[in-house]
Amino acid sequence: MTDAPHRLADLGVIVVAAGRGERLGAGTPKAFTELGGRTLIEHAVRTVSALSEPGQLVLVVSEARAAEALDIAAAVPLDSRWTVSIAHGGRERHESVRFGIEALHDGIRTVLVHDAARPLTPPEVFERVAAAVRRTGQSAVPAVAVADTLKERGEGGTVSATVDRSALVAVQTPQGFPLDVLAAAHQTAQEREGGASDDDAPTDDAELVQRAGGTVHLVEGSPYAHKLTRPADLLMLEGLLAGAAGAPHGARGAHARTEEGSR
């Protein structure tokens, strides 16, 4: 420990990167595919390295890729007050998150859960989410307005209704939680899992907290937090990366990466 005027690190960042990425069809797990010459895992570690406070980073990867993930993280210049841990992934995303929670050290109070599949999420979004969790003592997720008109699918491929989108938002990651709230929500979900169908599987962590009756606050997300799912998303992300590197006020994360890359 140093006696620098920082509070003790209480921030945990769990990066879930254990998905197979079948919809991308890259033949390699999605988090190990490259965007702009760097794996998605490396993008995530570099973004964390640009945060204004230290903490514990947990990379959740398949057992077969654990050593590779550690090598990638070790090559990124992270503040020495960060610790990096590896957890092995589960069959479903929520199981991977649970294993990530189990890898957190004592003393972690605020946890951000982030998809490696959103490689260009700016550090500002991480910081906004963490600040909202600390300010409210509750959960917080980044969100953006829905641009498309939304319709409900009816019988035989027809439209049955137009949905009022004014109250709707699209939610991204990192999602932030007081650790005790997230751990309790996952514990409850695990206990109920036996009776649940696949249709009932939560698609994000906030959903587990909502099911447990918790309040989830919305903070401003970012178009840079676009998720890589299909091959076309890779083209979009490459465009965002090129734009951010060239723009004077682009995403700070992309700038941090550019500057570090040229050191």
Q: HSE (CB half, 13 Å, CA atoms) of 138?
A: 14
Q: Which of residues 226-255 bind ligand C5P (CB under 6 A)?
A: 229
Helix (H, G, I), strand (E, B) or coil at 209: helix
Describe the crossing of helices 40-49 and 123-136 by its angle, rounded to 10 degrees. 60
Peptide bond preceding 174: is omega within 30 degrees of 0, i.e. cis?
yes
- Return the DSSP state at 248: T
- Interface with ligand C5P includes 30 (CB under 6 A)? yes
- Determine contact, residues 69/17, Cβ cutoff 8 Å: yes
* CB nearer to ligand C5P: pick between 40 and 130: 40
Give the shortest CB-212-to-ligand C5P separation in angstroms.
21
Q: Going residue by residue from 105 to 144, which x/- string records binding to ligand C5P, judged by CB under 6 A?
A: ----------xxx---------------------------
Give the shortest CB-21-to-ligand C5P separation in angstroms.
7
Give the shortest CB-103-to-ligand C5P separation in angstroms.
13
- Interface with ligand C5P includes 202 (CB under 6 A)? no
Q: Which of residues 77-96 bind ligand C5P (CB under 6 A)?
A: 89-93, 96
Q: How far is CA 56 from CA 67, 102, 240, in A?
A: 18, 13, 28
* Interface ranges with ligand C5P (CB under 6 A): 16-19, 30-31, 60, 89-93, 96, 115-117, 229
